[in-house]
Structure 1
């Protein structure tokens, strides 16, 4: 009977080819992501148009625009964060400089998460194996994920171009800007396609994709901040997005670089796919011991085993980034004079007093926002354990739901403490060694990173509420984290109201070093985080597992 049923399916798959079922999987992916993808599109598509519209209000006369180009645009330390400024005398050129690099990073994150969610994560849960038992082509799942991720990237790029043209900016520069963002999304779609073939688990694939994205941003930052190794920027897909030079004499030929890299990586992914079994990766798994170690006798020990790889990876990555930015912070003093107008410009970029302090405060704020993503990842690990039916057998023992949840929350809440502390120490040490005041600088920067923790915990608390109340929509925690980052980075430049900016917890964090630390905002944020965590825990104790 089994042979009778299997043979028609096998022959049908042979007749229709390896892409059988691709369109059905695309529809399924769009249905599953009917909330998260529109949020990504809205957040990434229309933010640049708001920045372009606010440019005339921020810099209304030619004198201020000329000073903007002479100060911020010419300073290599600012280029670390925002990239090279090719033309700050126009709204389009300012928007491309202020947002191009960050939008390339965010759309890269979207691409990595989307491809992994609909390929490797489906294999982890066993759903893809069930679908493959029917008439489903070998390459259908990968192709569907690439279509969804790549299509979303193109929609974002076209929407950016259309909205920028709608603000009155030149069409050529607007299309160059939109296509540069879309090209970055396509590249990291292909990067994720390779990662899901190499890795055996979805979290590892996400880690590989995020590592490549972080390395691309770091290459661009180092290349743009020095005259000795500017060629490093040309090794980065994030750097390519800016080297297209929207609104500054567009270089259309640069678009060929991400297109070629996308095709090459996609070809690699398709060539690797038939070389592995379903549910496995190209890299062979390390065989475990025949019996569990005594150190795994508690939920906390198991949680450490599950979280340690991500925690170590985040710590090392943030340490490298912190040391890099700290070592070049002293160059910020090369800005012309110490005029009040120059200081006001840096305040708009996130600082509060002192040019170098403003740069360091901006970087500590970015460390906090990035580390919040790690916290969300740690919370979502509980959901992945639940959907993979690994949590339910554990909870069937004497382990209570509260004990199991708190074991994971220990790393979600304390992991950011360790990551931000290491990042702050590395950046403070890098700057302190340059200026000859190691421990004083380390103390200042270290404090600037630690004050970010209440805001990070608020984001983690929201993720916990989603896990406890709306488990099927826990993925929206990513939208919350990314939304807070975008609102904090771009909200002031868009001229948004104070009430709207206050939605992001990072808007309430004091700018340290250089600013005054006041306890009430930190206490209020900590209280909100505590309430959210308790509400999430209470909701999880009452709902069904799975």
Structure 2
């Protein structure tokens, strides 16, 4: 463990901006839920009716889980608990992989290990950093909801933070068995996706067995504000300790930079003749995963459309929020517009990640040998950007097809609603190109901008944020289809802005050194 304290301080310093943002977004989203839901369901009768309606709707149970209590705190735990746990899990796995496998992949860990640094110190520092993040999330949730009941607030905070630590240790295991940070994140994310799917299937079908197979299901089974089951937290703790022990055992049996899943040797002769083919080879797995996820997401959201009216009922405040998010008086159209907008904001995360993939190649030193030959920088970047911009269009098309098939709506209007999200998606992708090309050290800030836009679009309308704040996101300027007439002016303006940002970023890439 020698050097653990120094490495922990280093990790906290490197993440001094991202960790507070993750904590505030995740903890703040859950804690602020009480205020928004109180405006929706102000009386006990309204809350009881809403709880009964939501529990009877299998689509709502699949998305959010069952409602265990009809108090204001119980509705907050239902509406925000699951997604808070997912956000904490995503943040935790990113943090752990960043400070373990990514450090080894870039060679920095080998340099540090040449000094007085113990074998288990890097892993311990990464887990302590994740623990600090999840502790902050738990404290924010507990403090923000203490007015609804101290016991329930503490239970919900520990459930969300504990879920984050479960997937932090899952990422620690993935970092031992894989040899690249990208693969480690993908493996940990796949486990998270499986956990969410098991929880959704179990809650939708009333199968407690499937729910109990998922750590996310454990978080909801703590039943905050509904007769807390404190013993479920012991299950979360046991999973954290077991995975931590396994990660420590694996890290003691391998060399720095090595992995337990060996990479298959490539062909004797190269088969990738162009920069575009190489970019496709590097990004095809990610695109396939996002494509499948968006198709399934479209199918799931389409199946919920018929229950939108039942979800809102006669609650005028809830109806106003849906119409504000969806922009259409017809409730079903407003619901579909809301879901399409959410999918568009998620597609922006794919686009930003795909744009920043060549930045990872550059920072790891793999791009320099390519560019030392006849391959030009713009041609090298173009291969990745085609996949980023074209791939975002593909996944939105698949989401639109899924929505139309599941809901039984005409394909044209739904597909148009999905594709109208592209200018906003491409604007955020263009911003990522600009940051990478002109200021590579600030490239990761594109994630923060995309996350802010997601937060504004997701919880902004429910919190009653003013239109000027919501319009900080490019998605706030898009027409809310299906339903109203198409508004071409904002679509064309955002498309032109995306093109300008991309061009400026490529111009910066041509002028600067490859190493930044």
- TM-score bracket for the superposition, by shorter chain length: over 0.9
Residue of structure 1 equivalent to 2:442: 473
2-side partners of 1:329 and 1:457: how far apart? 27
Instruction: Answer yes or no: is the 8 Å Cα contact 2:60–2:304 preserved in 1.
Output: no
Residue of structure 2 equivalent to 1:410: 386
1-side partners of 2:221 and 2:394: how far apart? 36
* CA positional deviation for 1:178: 1.2
Whether 1:250 aligns to 2:234 is no
Residue of structure 1 equivalent to 2:122: 141
2-side partners of 1:379 and 1:144: how far apart? 30
Task: Spell out, residue by residue over 1:138-195, the C-alpha distance to the aligned partner (whole angstroms, 9 max, x if none).
Answer: 1111111111112211121112212332xx3221111112111101110110110111
* CA positional deviation for 1:87: 3.2
Task: Spell out, residue by residue over 1:272-293, the C-alpha distance to the aligned partner (whole angstroms, 9 max, x if none).
Answer: 2233332232112110022212
Residue of structure 1 equivalent to 2:158: 179
* CA positional deviation for 1:88: 4.2
1-side partners of 2:312 and 2:269: how far apart? 65
Whether 1:322 aligns to 2:302 is no
| Of 346-355 and 532-541, the range deviating more from structure 2 | 346-355
The 1:241/1:484 distance shift into structure 2, 3 A limit, reads farther
Instruction: Answer yes or no: is the 8 Å Cα contact 2:30–2:84 preserved in 1.
Output: no
357, 373, 381: which one aligns with 1:397: 373
Whether 1:43 aligns to 2:25 is yes
Structure 1, unaligned runs of 5 or more: 1-18, 433-439
1-side partners of 2:496 and 2:114: how far apart? 50
Residue of structure 2 equivalent to 1:311: 287
Residue of structure 1 equivalent to 2:248: 270
Residue of structure 1 equivalent to 2:205: 226
Whether 1:85 aligns to 2:85 is no
The 1:65/1:97 distance shift into structure 2, 3 A limit, reads same
* CA positional deviation for 1:348: 6.0
2-side partners of 1:515 and 1:255: how far apart? 48
Q: Secondary structure at the match of 1:46?
A: helix
Counting only pairs closer than 5 Å after superposition, residues 409-428 of structure 1 correspond to structure 2 as 409-428=385-404
Counting only pairs closer than 5 Å after superposition, residues 137-536 of structure 1 correspond to structure 2 as 137-165=118-146, 168-227=147-206, 229-293=207-271, 296-327=272-303, 329-330=305-306, 332=308, 343-344=319-320, 346-347=322-323, 350=326, 352-432=328-408, 440-536=409-505
Instruction: Answer yes or no: is the 8 Å Cα contact 1:315–1:422 preserved in 2.
Output: yes
2-side partners of 1:266 and 1:370: how far apart? 31
The 1:502/1:36 distance shift into structure 2, 3 A limit, reads same
The 1:288/1:452 distance shift into structure 2, 3 A limit, reads same
The 1:371/1:394 distance shift into structure 2, 3 A limit, reads same
The 1:361/1:84 distance shift into structure 2, 3 A limit, reads farther
Q: Secondary structure at the match of 1:480?
A: helix
The 1:154/1:220 distance shift into structure 2, 3 A limit, reads same
2-side partners of 1:137 and 1:339: how far apart? 59
Instruction: Answer yes or no: is the 8 Å Cα contact 1:74–1:85 preserved in 2.
Output: no
2-side partners of 1:361 and 1:172: how far apart? 38
2-side partners of 1:234 and 1:355: how far apart? 35
The 1:43/1:509 distance shift into structure 2, 3 A limit, reads same
Instruction: Answer yes or no: is the 8 Å Cα contact 1:73–1:88 preserved in 2.
Output: no
* CA positional deviation for 1:346: 4.2
Instruction: Answer yes or no: is the 8 Å Cα contact 2:321–2:461 preserved in 1.
Output: no
TM value normalised by structure 1:
0.87
1-side partners of 2:85 and 2:174: how far apart? 19
| Of 155-164 and 342-351, the range deviating more from structure 2 | 342-351
Whether 1:95 aligns to 2:76 is yes
Task: Spell out, residue by residue over 1:2-28, the C-alpha distance to the aligned partner (whole angstroms, 9 max, x if none).
Answer: xxxxxxxxxxxxxxxxx1221111111
* CA positional deviation for 1:261: 1.4
The 1:336/1:372 distance shift into structure 2, 3 A limit, reads closer
2-side partners of 1:65 and 1:187: how far apart? 32
Task: Spell out, residue by residue over 1:401-458, the C-alpha distance to the aligned partner (whole angstroms, 9 max, x if none).
Answer: 22222221111111111112123223322333xxxxxxx5433432332222122112
Structure 2, unaligned runs of 5 or more: none
Instruction: Answer yes or no: is the 8 Å Cα contact 2:59–2:303 preserved in 1.
Output: no
The 1:181/1:516 distance shift into structure 2, 3 A limit, reads farther
1-side partners of 2:416 and 2:432: how far apart? 26
The 1:61/1:70 distance shift into structure 2, 3 A limit, reads same
Residue of structure 2 equivalent to 1:8: none
Q: Secondary structure at the match of 1:287?
A: coil
TM value normalised by structure 2:
0.92
* CA positional deviation for 1:126: 1.1
Q: Secondary structure at the match of 1:284?
A: coil
* CA positional deviation for 1:264: 1.7
